[in-house]
Amino acid sequence: METDLLKPPQLKQGEGIGVIAPAGPVTRSEIQPGIKLLNSSGYNVVSGPHLYHKKGYVAGEDEERLEDLHSMFINNKVKAIICARGGYGSLRLLNRIDFDLIQRNPKIIVGYSDITALLLAIYKKTHLITFHGPVVKDISKNNNRNLTSFFDLVSSGKSLKLDLSGGRTLMRGKVSGTLLGGNLSLISSLMGTPFMPSLKGAILLIEEKDEPLYRVDRMLTHLRLSGSLDDLAGLLAGGFEDCGDMSSINNILLDTVSDLNIPLISGLPVGHGLENITLPLGLPCTLDTNLRTLSFTESCVIKQIRERI
Domain definitions of the chain by residue range: 16-156, 161-295
The answer to whether the beta carbons of residues 235 and 204 sit under 8 Å apart is yes
Q: What is the pLDDT of residues 153-182, one digit of tens each?
A: 999 888 899 999 999 999 999 999 999 999
Residue 113 annotated in active site: yes
SS3 1: coil
Query: Model-level pTM?
Result: 0.96
For the segment(s) 16-156, the CATH number from 3.30.300.30, 3.40.50.10740, 3.30.2350.10, 1.20.58.1030 is 3.40.50.10740
Q: Which residue among 47, 132, 228, 272 is the active-site one? A: 272
Give SS3 for 45.
strand
Tens of pLDDT, residues 79-124: 999 999 999 999 999 999 999 999 999 999 999 999 999 999 999 9
Angle subtended at Cα 70 by Cα 42 and Cα 97, rounded to the nearest 5 degrees:
135
List the catalytic residue out of 207, 208, 211, 266: 207
Rounded to whole angstroms, the Cα distance separating 208 from 215 reads 11
Q: What is the CATH number of domain 161-295?
A: 3.50.30.60
Across 72-109, b (16+ Cβ under 10 Å) vs e yields: bbeeeebbbbbbbbbbbbbbebbeebeeeebbebbbbb
* CB distance 36 to 101 below 8 Å: no
Residue 142 is given by DSSP the state: T
Single-letter residue type at 198? S
Per-residue pLDDT reduced to its tens digit, 276-309: 999 999 999 999 999 999 999 999 999 854 444 3
Read off the pLDDT of residues 77-87 as tens digits, 9 standing for 90 and up: 999 999 999 99
| Residue in 90, 113, 189, 299 annotated catalytic | 113
Question: In the annotation, is 207 catalytic?
Answer: yes
Told to judge if 275 belongs to the known catalytic residues of this protein, a careful annotator would answer: no
d(CA 208, CA 211): 7
